[in-house]
């Protein structure tokens, strides 16, 4: 079964520091990969997605992620954290040959920004 592992349920960084949120997936089939962000009391908003085009994907709000097949990883980064980045981040996977049964989500990483 497909699975997604997010390392670290909580990540704390200082404002202006590098943000790195880790995501690994299990698969021998090339997947579609996503990062979603959830602000308090809101739904999930798509940050970026990988769909087998460029391995470095740029998203909204200055975030980007790199697909590394050899490491089965899709880590999310942002060069300089802003207070407004504080939120819950979810990595999700869907296999290109899969059916309609949605995305499989990781358990989420809560990003804390220290002033």
Give the interface segment with another protein, choosing from 19-27, 58-66, 68-76, 93-101 (CB under 8 A).
93-101
The CB-of-77 to another protein minimum distance in angstroms stands at 21
Q: Does 58 bind another protein (CB under 8 A)?
A: no
The CB-of-105 to another protein minimum distance in angstroms stands at 4
φ, ψ dihedrals at 61, nearest 5°? 60, 25
Give the C-alpha separation, 10 to 51, whole Å: 27
Sign for the pseudo-dihedral over CA of 103, 10, 62, 67: negative
Residues 3-42 that bind another protein (CB under 8 A): 9, 32, 34, 36, 41-42
CA angle, residues 109, 41, 66, in degrees to nearest 5:
35
Beta carbons of 63 and 91 less than 8 angstroms apart: no
Size of the residue set binding another protein (CB under 8 A): 24
Q: Which residues bind another protein (CB under 8 A)?
A: 9, 32, 34, 36, 41-46, 49, 51, 90, 94, 98-103, 105-108
């Amino acid at each position: 079964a497909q699975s997604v592992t997010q390392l670290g349920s909580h990540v704390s960084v200082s404002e202006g520091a590098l943000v790195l949120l880790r995501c690994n997936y299990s698969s021998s089939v090339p997947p579609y990969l996503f990062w979603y962000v959830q602000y308090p009391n809101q739904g999930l908003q798509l940050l970026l997605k990988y769909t087998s085009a460029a391995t470095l994907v740029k998203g909204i709000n200055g975030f980007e992620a790199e697909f590394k097949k050899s490491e089965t990883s899709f880590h999310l980064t942002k060069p300089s954290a802003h207070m407004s980045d504080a939120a819950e981040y979810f990595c999700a996977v869907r296999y290109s040959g899969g059916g309609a049964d949605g995305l499989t989500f990781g358990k989420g990483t809560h990003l804390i920004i220290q002033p």
